[in-house]
Structure 1
Amino acid sequence: MRTVYVNGEYLPENEAKVSVFDRAFLMADGVYEVTSVLGGKLIDFDGHLARLERSLNELDMQKPEAFDDLLEIHRELVRVNEITDGLVYLQVTRGGAADRDFAFPDPDEVKPTLVLFTQAKPGLADSPAAKKGMKVISIEDIRWGRRDIKTTQLLYPSMGKMMAKKAGCDDAWMIEDGKVTEGTSNNAYIVKGNKIITRELSTDILHGITRAAVLRFAREAQMEVEERSFTIDEAKEADEAFITSASTFVMPVVEIDGATLGEGVPGKVATRLREIYLDESLKAAI
């Protein structure tokens, strides 16, 4: 029985409750963050907190009262749930205590809902998938235009995951105007001639916290990085590919739409970047 956090209280998960009028339930009017835990410590916490604040500002959503206490809350949940390796999920919604309405409620009449819970993931850093690589398919990107905001509107990414599963693959890369935007829950990269290529930041993709760290580490390691859009056909012809996210870190991709990349095994660039990311992130974990 996990302990979860709901609006200032630490509760057994079976006692945690949120109003049926909460706008996240009715309108997907909420944002979230997922912070990895390795060795009992939080990875890239400051980056996740900064992105959370940005998401709230972009949606004109109030900060929860406990915003300044989020580090302490994360640490307490890790402690009481005895999480060595795993995740802390955080969600802030606009709240709601009145009848359903498309218009935002007056901020003076409603307070944000803040929920956090943990998920244990033993051996998170030693994922077998990182040793064999992922297979992805391509699907049309039909999401709304503000993908830079980490909202709880995750129906289409979930459908994309299921499309991949039905195709016997691990994930899907989304395509818009012939160019790869991102994966269903991750940023996408290809490697050509030792050059790392990934889509530039805009409202088209999520500004990944792991993405920022990995690109910084890559440049520090004297790897060449080019931030630009690339086509799915270009990806199929790449030497290697990979994704990044808070829960997968750096994960090699070995097949795209049935086309094998390189020798069909994780490439040297992705493998090395995963090693660097884990080493450096553990040093900075809090």
Structure 2
Amino acid sequence: MSRIVYVNGRFVPFEEATIPIMDRGFLFADGIYEVSAVLDGRLVDNEAHLARLDRSLGEIGIRNPHTIAEWTRLEEELVTRNNLREGLVYMEVTRGVAERDFAFPPEGTPPTVVMFTQAKTVSANPLAERGAKVISVEDLRWKRRDIKSVALLAQVLAKQQAAAAGVAEAWMHEDGFVTEGGSSTAFIITEDGRIVTRPLSTALLPGITRRAVMRLAEENGLTVEERAFTIEEALAAAEAFFTSASAFVMPVVEIDGNRVGGGQPGPMTRRLRDLYLDMAKAG
């Protein structure tokens, strides 16, 4: 049976889904997206994802077409129609369809809304058992990285560099310090057990999984320190990991061909992943 997707108020087979060529998401990357994980057929930490979607839309002046309750109902309907047990729900809202012009279209132009699911193993991911390898790349993005924009060309190039190098992720850096991963938040764990990640600003996306992992760490008596760190510090760390809606907590065992810690997933990272999985399964 064909995958069912959602386009502007209709659930349709994937093969029948179309968007006009004058859609501003296609012409200008003028839109926002969000991704929620699905585990055991249930959405994970979804309200936080929808709150970030609402914030990003507001930052670029697009009216949110749905309330949190409406978004949730649509997501759950899509999960049910596709019989999705584990994977992702992708949501995108663009400024809509209008004649190509850089200025915003007339007030009242309806936004375009697209949603689809992707089946993916996120809980028993084999990569989490052996650990991920990453490379470092220069951060080439714009200055409002806190907005979850569909303009992802710099991340595409970074992730392609990672793919070409045969590794799982690229850690972007600027002015000597790590900003974040191509599609994730970067963390290190120091020799004395402090969990370190960069503080929020316009330089990076406010990760939803980041926030949940930090909260779980603090609730379990672990020390979290928000500050910038360098690739050199990451290489000297006891452990490293990254977080995202699709990876949850992913151990990093190698950066630029150099082993991190013992070159295998460390005990604190494993504990954080277990804590997050317990939270996700509890619903």
Q: Give the TM-score normalised by the residue count of structure 2.
A: 0.97
Give the deviation of 1:66 after TM superposition.
6.7
Aligned to 1:147: 145
Counterpart contact for 2:242–2:249, Cα < 8 Å:
yes
In the alignment, does 2:104 pair up with 1:107?
no
Give the Cα separation in 2 of the matches to 1:60 and 1:33: 16
Give the Cα separation in 1 of the matches to 2:66 and 2:255: 45
Give the deviation of 1:68 after TM superposition.
4.5
Aligned to 2:226: 227
For residues 141-160 of structure 1, give each alpha carbon's deviation from its aligned partner in whole angstroms, at most 9, with x where no partner exists. 01001010001011111111
Aligned to 1:131: 129
Q: What secondary structure is seen at the aligned counterpart in 2 of 1:126?
A: coil
Aligned to 1:217: 216
Give the Cα separation in 2 of the matches to 1:233 and 1:184: 19
Aligned to 2:171: 173
Give the Cα separation in 1 of the matches to 2:66 and 2:129: 43
Q: Which runs of 5+ in 1 are unaligned?
A: none
Root-mean-square deviation (Å):
1.0
Matches within 5 A, 1:132-281: 132-192=130-190, 193-281=192-280
Aligned to 1:64: 65
Counterpart contact for 1:8–1:66, Cα < 8 Å:
no
Q: What secondary structure is seen at the aligned counterpart in 2 of 1:182?
A: strand
In the alignment, does 2:24 pair up with 1:26?
no
Give the deviation of 1:82 after TM superposition.
0.4
Counterpart contact for 2:122–2:248, Cα < 8 Å:
no
Matches within 5 A, 1:65-104: 65=66, 68-96=69-97, 98-104=98-104
Q: Which moved more, 1:210-219 or 1:160-169?
A: 160-169
Give the deviation of 1:124 after TM superposition.
2.2
Give the Cα separation in 1 of the matches to 2:187 and 2:29: 29
Q: Which runs of 5+ in 2 are unaligned?
A: none
Aligned residues: 281
Identity %: 53
Give the Cα separation in 1 of the matches to 2:35 and 2:8: 18
For residues 172-224 of structure 1, give each alpha carbon's deviation from its aligned partner in whole angstroms, at most 9, with x where no partner exists. 10010000000000000000021100000001010000000000000001001
Counterpart contact for 2:47–2:68, Cα < 8 Å:
no
Q: 1:196 to 1:259 in 2, by over 3 A?
A: same
For residues 79-113 of structure 1, give each alpha carbon's deviation from its aligned partner in whole angstroms, at most 9, with x where no partner exists. 110000111100000001x32101011222x1100
Give the Cα separation in 2 of the matches to 1:69 and 1:249: 25
Q: Give the TM-score normalised by the residue count of structure 1.
A: 0.96
Q: 1:80 to 1:214 in 2, by over 3 A?
A: same
Q: 1:67 to 1:5 in 2, by over 3 A?
A: farther
Give the Cα separation in 1 of the matches to 2:76 and 2:49: 14
